[in-house]
Amino acid sequence: MKVLHRIIPSRKEILQHFDKNDAVMAQLIRESGPIKLKRNRNYFNVLCNAIIGQQISVAAADAITIRFNKLFNGHLPTPKEVLKLSAIDLKNVGLSKQKVAYLKDLSFHFHKKLLRPHRLHHMDNNEVISQLTEVHGIGRWTAEMFLIFSLNRPDVLPLGDLGLQLALKKLYRMRKLPTAKRMQTLGRKWNPLETVGTWYAWRAQDEKIVSY
């Protein structure tokens, strides 16, 4: 497969693109400062954090993630260590029974090398999503967070992300949350920098920098 070397462009290039295509987003970018999207190459950790964060608030996810990480004596979790933990240990940090099962299945896929994440760098976005969603508990949203935070793909638009939906409603003064179709229309204006638009929209909704 061909290695994909797409990267987030410079601030100057970002502003030129959005000045041409979306004045609302261009203004937000100027007000918010440079994008701070760091690539996290610890793929297992990113996916653990994304699973923990599914369908709960950022504050709740942060609290559970801190307790989860304390189980590993100051270092990042490994698949083998997560597999060794009991379900009770994982539930005691605030994880649901369902998320315990998801983390165990993710760990199994890594430990047995059923999932070889470094190959994902060579795949396009849809191929990455297809590969990751073979793991129980990883849906499209979680795979998209991986594309953004581990691979730093510039063209990801997570249509199912509530934070993004809320931000767009506020930024574009919508009467209700945007439909997937309306988000896709915006995404076409942002293309090929959907990730950039998404990151800045998140900042408009919550000033805390999103990371995994």
The tens digit of pLDDT for each residue in 18-57 reads 999 999 999 999 999 899 888 888 999 999 998 998 888 8
Q: What are phi and psi of 36, to 5 degrees?
A: -125, 80
- pLDDT score recorded for residue 118: 80
What is the share, in percent, of the chain residues with pLDDT greater than 70? Answer: 95
CA angle 170, 176, 180 (to 5 degrees): 95
For domain 11-37+155-205, give the CATH number. 1.10.1670.40
Fold matches, 11-37+155-205 and 43-149? no
Q: Where are the alpha helices (DSSP H) in 33-96?
A: 43-52, 58-70, 79-84, 87-91
Fold classified for 43-149: Endonuclease III; domain 1 (1.10.340)
Query: So where are the chain's domains?
Result: 11-37+155-205, 43-149
User: Is-contact 154 192, C-beta < 8 A?
Assistant: yes
Model pLDDT for residues 118-155, shown as the tens digit of each residue: 888 899 999 999 999 999 999 999 899 999 999 999 99
How many helical (H) and strand (E) elements, i.e. helices and strands, does the chain have? 12, 0
Query: Cα dist. 23→16, 18, 41, 68 in Å?
Result: 11, 6, 33, 41
Cis peptide before 192 (omega within 30 of 0): yes
pLDDT band at 170 (very low <50, low <70, confident <90, very high): very high
114 DSSP 8-state letter: S
pLDDT band at 69 (very low <50, low <70, confident <90, very high): very high
Kindly report whether the global pTM for this prediction surpasses the value 0.75: yes
Selected residue with higher pLDDT from 2 and 62: 62
pLDDT number for residue 2: 43
> Does residue 3 register a pLDDT over 50?
no
Dihedral sign, Cα of residue 54, residue 177, residue 204, residue 183: positive
Q: Is 137 left (phi over 0), alpha (psi -120 to 50) or beta?
A: left
